[in-house]
Structure 1
């Protein structure tokens, strides 16, 4: 880009930023401590000019935009700090899918594919009895809301609002069937009801719902959900680590696709496999 092209781009972006911020030439001149005529010259169409480094920085600060954006070096108008803050953020996490933040992210993903690696079995398919055992000591008064929320999400999935792919560690369903590890002490009737619900949903909702089982001895994943192409969220216990920077979202999407490629049990075989665990 030659100097004249850059000056024209600077003028256009300066004018755009001033309009967006509702700042006049007089107000901008006061904020940057220069004459109003200096700002006017920067906005003149017939004699485009570039400011010096100090004035460019002062203008960017006054308009809350990036100096690089004004000068045509990036297409992101946000300041570097704002870009970093938007690219990665921490949000408090509740223990169930009734978490309002989760619901908002699901709404944002309407029309896209949601990819999910749950911390235990998918909350989307939790029975009321399993929820009561798992979360009852923490959220007794919120259990009806949590269960209703999951039913609403299932209806959205049935209606084709989004597609869902879920990758679950093989040992999770095996432990649920056997009543070991995390599921030690859960009545067999509750565990089997839960597994039957998952098997039924996998069967009924294929292909918009695809569940894969992977062997954690061969591949590993932390709990993560990828909401379409623009947001990926890692669950770290008391909070969610949310990424909006496109390259990070692509990396986590590739990670999920790797889990699917390495899956021990394919989506079409999951219902039969789950039911076989309850026949032993």
Structure 2
């Protein structure tokens, strides 16, 4: 960019930033410790003018924008620190799907495909009896909310607002079917009802809902949800690590697609596979 083009862009962005911040020429001159005429010269369009480094930094600070944006070196007006904070954040996480933050992210993703790797069986595909068993410690305080949240997610899915893809380790389904490991204490009747419900739902909701099973001996994933093209969330226990920067979201989308490509049980066959375990 030559000096005239950069000067024109600087002048326009300076004017826009001043208008947005409600800062007059006199106020900007006072807060940057220069004469009002100096600001006036920068805003004139007769000759190309650019500020010195000190004035540029002071003006950017006063107006809450980045110096790079004023000079046309980036399309993001936020300061670098604000960009980083917006691109990645930590949010407190509940153990159950009634978490308000989680539900808000689902609403935000309306119209987009949601990709999900759950920590156990997907909450939205659990029976009420299964939720009661798994979240017994929350029974008095949060279980009704968990059941309601599960139903809300199912209603949202059946409405056709968004497609939903789930990738799950094959051993998770097998452990559940054999009542082993994490599921060793579950009642047989609850387990059988859950398996039938899971198979029936995957069959009835296909292709809007697609469940893929991958072999954890060959591929691995932490619990993660990609809410369309603008948000990806990794579950790390007591908090969610949320990414909004486009390249990070794209990378986690690619990771999920890799799990799907490596799946050993395709979504078309998953209902039959679950029934074979029954």
TM over 0.5: yes
TM-score (norm 1): 0.97
CA positional deviation for 1:119: 0.3
Q: Which residue in 2 is equivalent to 1:192? A: 192
Report the Cα distance in structure 2 between the residues aligned to 1:12 and 1:272, rounded to whole angstroms.
Answer: 62
Q: Which residue in 1 is equivalent to 2:26? A: 26
Q: Which residue in 1 is equivalent to 2:9? A: 9
Report the Cα distance in structure 2 between the residues aligned to 1:242 and 1:140, rounded to whole angstroms.
Answer: 30
Superposed, 1:1-280 pairs within 5 Å as 1-278=1-278
Report the Cα distance in structure 2 between the residues aligned to 1:190 and 1:156, rounded to whole angstroms.
Answer: 25
CA contact (8 A) 2:3 2:48 kept: no
CA contact (8 A) 1:106 1:227 kept: yes
Report the Cα distance in structure 2 between the residues aligned to 1:141 and 1:190, rounded to whole angstroms.
Answer: 22
Report the Cα distance in structure 2 between the residues aligned to 1:245 and 1:224, rounded to whole angstroms.
Answer: 16
Report the Cα distance in structure 1 between the residues aligned to 2:243 and 2:187, rounded to whole angstroms.
Answer: 39
CA positional deviation for 1:75: 0.4
CA positional deviation for 1:139: 4.7
Report the Cα distance in structure 2 between the residues aligned to 1:87 and 1:114, rounded to whole angstroms.
Answer: 19
Report the Cα distance in structure 2 between the residues aligned to 1:48 and 1:120, rounded to whole angstroms.
Answer: 62
TM-score (norm 2): 0.98
Q: Helix, strand or coil for the counterpart of 2:23?
A: coil
CA contact (8 A) 1:131 1:143 kept: yes
Q: Deviations over 1:97-129 (max 9, x none)?
A: 111111111111111000000000001112111
Q: Helix, strand or coil for the counterpart of 1:86?
A: helix
CA contact (8 A) 2:199 2:275 kept: yes
CA positional deviation for 1:38: 1.1
CA contact (8 A) 2:18 2:63 kept: yes
Aligned residues: 278
Report the Cα distance in structure 1 between the residues aligned to 2:14 and 2:197, rounded to whole angstroms.
Answer: 58
CA positional deviation for 1:192: 1.4
Report the Cα distance in structure 1 between the residues aligned to 2:139 and 2:46, rounded to whole angstroms.
Answer: 66
Q: Deviations over 1:158-200 (max 9, x none)?
A: 1111110000110111111110011011001111111211111
CA positional deviation for 1:138: 3.0
User: Which shifted more, 121-130 or 263-272?
Assistant: 121-130
Calculate the aligned-residue CA RMSD, in Å.
0.9
CA positional deviation for 1:238: 0.3
Report the Cα distance in structure 1 between the residues aligned to 2:115 and 2:266, rounded to whole angstroms.
Answer: 15
Q: Helix, strand or coil for the counterpart of 1:267?
A: coil
